[in-house]
Structure 1
Amino acid sequence: MGAGAGTLSSAGKRISSFVAGAGTLSALQMAWCNAAYWFHEALAEPLTTVAIAKLETAVENLFGSPSLGESNSRIRKALKGLFGLEPQDSIVPGSTVTVSAFVKDIVEARSRILHGNWSTLTEELAMGRGDVAAFARELLVNYTETLGLYAASGSPVDEALQFLNWIEMQRATKASPPPP
């Protein structure tokens, strides 16, 4: 619990803002609360196919993706900004699965399961439930902690794409060498 105290505090701020119906960046905070709900639902889900669809729904809620293509784009943008991962990078060290392929697989799985192109009742998916759950968890944790920093920045805009752009800008600033 001690190691996760910062994350718990940050999550508590998101929940308190939701319960009070007030606070700054209400759309972004609501996105986190919605994503946390879908994450919980996924963990409680007995069917792997439905759990993966719920996990991807949690991720989509974080970044306000209006379409399949935009979902791919925003998730890749989040991975670049939060973790410095490019589309051709391995999703985890030592893996042969690239960021681009992993993102495509989870977005496609949700779409195909919910639209009836793949069976809900079989569990023949390319990715494992645990991998997708770990991915969604990392995004939830990093989103809430980064949202706290964003809220404290100069003039944050309460919109997912603006938040993602700010995250990328912060990473780029950290990666740039200091001026001589």
Structure 2
Amino acid sequence: MIENQYPIGTFEAGPFTAGVKRECLGAIRYLPNMLEAAIMNLNEAQLQTPYREGGWTVHQLVHHVADSHINAYTRFKLGLTEERPVIKPYDEKAWAGLGDVQTLPVNLSVTLLYALHARWYAAMDNLDDAQWMRALVHPATGSALPLSYYLQLYAWHGKHHVAQINYLREKQKWQ
């Protein structure tokens, strides 16, 4: 495994207990705060530093989290309103190379994440057990996985990228 590629480990969904649900909802709710803290006081040269050799820059990571979580929010809303919708995959690497990611400051994506996560958390906060079992279908595999799985995935995803940035900060001794 490449150094710091998975500083919190790879994703593994576990049983969907009340404690896991509470922890994951908290991770979704507070991800914007954690991401903002991770990039606080970084200058432009630091933001343009890849978090690992061959990896995205911190700048790209922040925009990636916003792109990914916009898709996640949409997938959750579809999962709650349609029967077993087929989700639309997207090319993360291609998105990371688009003009908005290349030219816009990271604070726009952080601001977007605050609003997005407030809405996303509110949409999920009071779901019942049956709603958590509603499934999304991935077209590449044809597998149908419940929203409870995706909650765990995206809670991990946000923490994963924050950990990558924090790892880089520590490695570079950035205050």
- TM-score, normalised on structure 1? 0.36
Tell me which protein shows more helix as a share of its residues.
1
Which structure would you say has the larger RCO, counting Cα contacts within 8 Å and 6 or more residues apart? 2
- TM-score, normalised on structure 2? 0.37
